[in-house]
Structure 1
Amino acid sequence: MAVLLMLLLCGLALWVWGSGALWFQGPAHPTIRWALVGIWTAWMIGSLIAYWTSRRPAMLMACWFLSFVALLVWWQQIKPSDTRNWAADVGEHVEVQAVKGPGQLVKLNNVRNFRWRSDEDFDARWEQRSYDLSRLERVDVALSYWMGPAIAHTLVSFGFSDGQHLVYSIEIRKERGEQFDALAGFFKQYEMVLVAADERDILGVRTNVRGETVHLYQVNMPQQAMRELFMAYAHQADELIEQPRFYNTLTANCTTIVWQLARSIGAQLPMDWRMMASGYLPSYLKGFGVLAPQATLESLEQAGNITERAKAWVPPAGSSDSKASVDFSKAIRLGMPPLN
């Protein structure tokens, strides 16, 4: 009985993975894809039946194993690309142009600073910016809720004493006209991109254009750790330029990559189910004592909800673009408790 149960579970797992691989990476025509999934399904079911009715089950299992290996070999030939017709907002990689001094002044190319009127109507701007890491004074985790309380997109914002804020965001690199499908994200459907953006752009588009709910949580970190995390993101950007990588809904997503980067600089953060259900990430952070200790999680969630403040904000009359961005960052943090 135990052998039968194991075979059934293994067969189910192989059928699910093989069907997904054939559907999402098979020929473009849906009829052909349906046919391939049907053939794979018939083969899996037929093999299991034949195993129990044949006098030579070992041969059947060998054929089953070889068919899986053939599918796996084909799967390994599917490589990520850097040269597709990308959507405008993920069309550029952020690049580290230069680092001057002992890790002090960092110059970045392709910092996104779009002005959004709708998802289809915007002014695309990719800028070169410089950041003095000696003036880095805060790190905030932003969670943008777009599909219920358990699912949120994770972003990390770095704040400087001159009022500048830079947000890093691991995102799928959509092609033009492509929409995100969490199931497709398991099957090499999307490449990964690291976006570096102005807060007024990347947070504002989520609250004001896409109708998402965004929460900010300031994280208690020593400045040296902040600087190391900033540069870990910069190095991740370089790696993605040199070697494109697939996004994976489970293992390489907007939250697990942040966790990996934090671990790379020495943070003792165990893996947790809230890496997958990222909407509950604040309780994970609160449990490690890195959020404001004097405030409850509920009060932090309420004070950190920037959605209405972002919607209500208007640029000060006559202010430059850079000053308006600084003002936006100040406005959305009104009411957030200090760390100490």
Structure 2
Amino acid sequence: MTLRVFLQVLASLAMPLATAWGGMALWYQLPMMAAGKSASIALWCILASALLIALWRLRPWIAICGYLSLFALLQVWWNSLEPSNHRVWTDDLMGMTHGRAEGSQVTLHNVRNFDWRSDEDYYPRWETRRYDLDQLTSVDLATSYWGMPAIAHVLVSFGFDDGQFVVFTVEIRKERGESYSEIGGFFKQFELSIVAADERDALRVRTNVRNEDVYLYRVNMSEEAMRALFLSYIQQTNQLQQEPRFYNTITANCTTIVFDMMRQIIRGLPLDYRLLLTGYLPGYVQDVGGLEQNLKLEELRQQGRITERARRAGNNMDFSRVIRDGVPGW
């Protein structure tokens, strides 16, 4: 195969893929109605197709240089898109958690404590809460399922000797009228948010309002590691307040953010497919020694299913104790 033919074949494979990516980027980010977006994407595809045809009918370098110039213009526009903390957010993501640590004393601002009756009917509360890291005694991993067993939302809950629990959940920061899209998460459709919440909010809304299936796992961590993870969450929330960031379905989601923090605390944590297929994350945590080792994963899963207990507990002030009844480690 000559060099010319090799370049033509390589470009013939790369150009349609790049064109498809560009079309998706235009669809999710152009500030237009659907008709305007469709017309822009059609023009983009026509120009790209013309250059693909020219690749085989003219000198290849002319078509390749033309396409690279066209794609470079798209990249200039794409890189000009910046995340923002100033949009019309949904009520449950309006507050931005941030905190301050002074010795062992931690103050968290904008801790969400909504009273949920439905996704549209709720009493909003954003609170300032204080915690003593010397009383930090537990870390729990919660996985919430709504469909496929391979996909779950991951939350991390910290427990204290005084009976307080606070959940950190990594969320897409939706604007009013937006809904979640896995594909949109690849194309800068959402900002990233880390919300601290009361368990009667963050866990109960999933079991009792959204009819999700939630499992709780006690995580084996040293006091030093628990403290470091809690402080890492505060650092991340403060950073997001100063420098907003886009959510990404793969690289910046509810699991990868936590994993990145844990790798700074526990060196040598391996990469694994279960970091992407988050429904299987408890198996990964058990394999690295983070869950009870005397029970099989299926036993931990069965005993850690809190869905029915949460539904029975309702808005009970003792919600956190009730849902842990029977969870291994508790």
- What TM-score, normalized to structure 1? 0.92
Report what 1:253 is aligned to.
253
Report what 1:185 is aligned to.
185
Find the partner of 2:85 among 82, 85, 97: 82
Does structure 1 residue 195 correspond to structure 2 residue 195?
Answer: yes
- Amino acid of the structure 1 residue aligned with 2:324: R
Does structure 1 residue 38 correspond to structure 2 residue 52?
Answer: no
Q: Specify the SS of the correspondent of 2:131.
A: strand
Residue pairs, 1:101-116, within 5 angstroms: 101=103, 104-116=104-116
Between the aligned partners of 1:9 and 1:72, the Cα distance in structure 2 is 19
Between the aligned partners of 1:12 and 1:18, the Cα distance in structure 2 is 10
Deviation (angstroms), 1:111? 0.6
Deviation digits for residues 153-204 of structure 1 (CA, Å, limit 9, x no counterpart) = 1111001112211100110111112111111111111011110000010000
Report what 1:146 is aligned to.
146
Report what 1:329 is aligned to.
320
RMSD value over aligned CA atoms?
1.5
Between the aligned partners of 1:42 and 1:291, the Cα distance in structure 2 is 54
Deviation (angstroms), 1:149? 0.6
Deviation digits for residues 37-78 of structure 1 (CA, Å, limit 9, x no counterpart) = 112222223222211121x22111101001111000000111
Does structure 1 residue 73 correspond to structure 2 residue 76?
Answer: yes
Between the aligned partners of 1:266 and 1:291, the Cα distance in structure 2 is 15
Between the aligned partners of 2:267 and 2:310, the Cα distance in structure 1 is 31
Does structure 1 residue 52 correspond to structure 2 residue 43?
Answer: no
Report what 1:227 is aligned to.
227
Between the aligned partners of 1:223 and 1:79, the Cα distance in structure 2 is 38
Does structure 1 residue 94 correspond to structure 2 residue 97?
Answer: yes
Report what 2:173 is aligned to.
173
Report what 1:284 is aligned to.
284
- 5+ residue gaps in structure 2? none
- Amino acid of the structure 2 residue aligned with 1:140: D
- Amino acid of the structure 2 residue aligned with 1:214: V
Report what 2:157 is aligned to.
157
- 5+ residue gaps in structure 1? 317-323
Change over 3 Å in CA distance of 1:276–1:315 after alignment to 2 = closer
Between the aligned partners of 1:111 and 1:216, the Cα distance in structure 2 is 21
Deviation (angstroms), 1:314? 4.2
- Amino acid of the structure 2 residue aligned with 1:257: I
- Amino acid of the structure 2 residue aligned with 1:95: H
Find the partner of 2:10 among 6, 10, 28: 6
- What TM-score, normalized to structure 2? 0.95
**Percent of residue pairs identical:** 48
Q: Specify the SS of the correspondent of 2:141.
A: strand
Between the aligned partners of 2:105 and 2:239, the Cα distance in structure 1 is 20
Deviation (angstroms), 1:270? 2.0
Report what 2:123 is aligned to.
123
Q: Specify the SS of the correspondent of 1:245.
A: coil
Change over 3 Å in CA distance of 1:149–1:40 after alignment to 2 = same
Deviation (angstroms), 1:315? 4.9
Greater alpha carbon shift after TM alignment, 36-45 vs 213-222: 36-45
Report what 1:338 is aligned to.
329
Does structure 1 residue 300 correspond to structure 2 residue 303?
Answer: no
Report what 1:19 is aligned to.
23
Deviation digits for residues 75-102 of structure 1 (CA, Å, limit 9, x no counterpart) = 0111111111110000011121x3222x
Q: How many residues align?
A: 326
Alpha-carbon contact 2:217-2:328 (below 8 Å) kept: no
Deviation (angstroms), 1:9? 3.3
